């Protein structure tokens, strides 16, 4: 099942994160950003954007130009003309309004629409999707909170079915996969600490 990632906000009326500023790039106020979209060509028409800073403040920014460099997108915003101006944008999420999000291709879904969905493995409940992590491999990872926190690859070979209407993801994971990546519980950490002492 193809997945698209042009969205991080699951509620209508919200905002869609399409990139995240990593650092200043160049001397004229350009910034390097990680792409959170499968539709980078839309920067051509997306000139009015929003920057959400780490404190949750959102402001308008105008895109003057952009280009791709070493797996990232370099963005130049109007009025951001120095390295200091650019460094002030580090960590900001670059967003568009929900209504302006790109439409996925036929048969694809936005994986972050899965946030809040119940995940079942071979019919048994695992937990609910808390977030989606990109860049760790070929498939995005669903961060699922249940008895523990699980990192589950959202890969076609593991997905049995998805119903966004029912807010449910049915998976068929290989035996042992849930135990493999799950962080330790507080009880397991305590046992490990005692064992190491």
What tens-digit pLDDT sequence spans the chain (197 residues)? 444 444 443 444 588 888 999 999 989 999 999 988 878 889 999 999 999 999 999 999 999 999 999 889 999 999 999 999 999 999 999 999 988 887 777 667 776 678 899 999 999 999 999 988 776 566 788 999 998 999 998 888 999 999 988 999 999 999 888 876 555 456 655 665 666 65
User: Residue 118: what pLDDT?
Assistant: 96
User: Residue 95: what pLDDT?
Assistant: 92
User: Residue 111: what pLDDT?
Assistant: 66
Number of domains in the chain: 2
Q: Which of 6, 70, 76 is nearest to 36 (CA)?
A: 6
Q: Which two tokens stand for residue 124?
A: 């048994």
CATH number of the domain bearing residue 127: 2.30.30.240
Is the residue at 192 inside a domain? no
d(CA 197, CA 190) in angstroms, rounded, equals 11
Range of the structural domain that residue 134 is part of: 109-184
User: Residue 10: what pLDDT?
Assistant: 40
CATH number of the domain bearing residue 80: 2.40.30.60
Instruction: Specify whether 116 is located in the same domain as 89.
Output: no
**Is 69 within 8 Å of 32 (Cβ atoms)?**
yes
Instruction: Specify whether 74 is located in the same domain as 131.
Output: no
Q: Which two tokens stand for residue 189?
A: 């950490």
d(CA 163, CA 148) in angstroms, rounded, equals 23
User: Residue 192: what pLDDT?
Assistant: 57
Q: Which residues of 33-48 are buried (b: 16+ CB within 10 A; e: fewer)?
A: bebbbbbeeebeebee
Instruction: Specify whether 155 is located in the same domain as 132.
Output: yes
Q: Which two tokens stand for residue 27?
A: 């001397």
Polymer length in residues for the chain: 197
CA neighbours closer than 13 Å in the CB half-sphere of residue 104? 16
Instruction: Specify whether 79 is located in the same domain as 10.
Output: yes
């Amino acid at each position: 099942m193809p997945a698209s990632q042009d969205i991080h906000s699951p509620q209508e009326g919200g905002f869609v994160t399409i990139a995240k500023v990593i650092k200043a790039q160049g001397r004229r106020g350009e910034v390097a950003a990680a792409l959170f979209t499968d539709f980078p060509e839309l920067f051509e028409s997306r000139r009015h954007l929003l920057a959400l800073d780490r404190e949750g403040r959102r402001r308008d920014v105008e895109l003057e130009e952009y280009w791709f460099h070493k797996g990232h997108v370099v963005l130049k915003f109007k009025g951001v003309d120095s390295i200091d101006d650019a460094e002030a944008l580090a960590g900001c999420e670059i967003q568009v309004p929900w209504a302006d999000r790109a439409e996925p291709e036929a048969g694809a879904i936005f994986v972050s629409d899965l946030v809040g969905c119940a995940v079942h493995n071979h019919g048994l409940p695992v937990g609910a999707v808390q977030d989606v992590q990109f860049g760790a491999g070929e498939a995005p990872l669903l961060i699922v909170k249940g008895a523990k926190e699980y990192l589950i690859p959202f890969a076609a070979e593991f997905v049995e079915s998805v119903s966004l209407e029912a807010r449910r993801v049915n998976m068929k994971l290989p035996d042992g996969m849930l135990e493999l990546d799950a962080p330790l519980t507080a009880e397991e950490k305590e046992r490990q600490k005692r064992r190491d002492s």
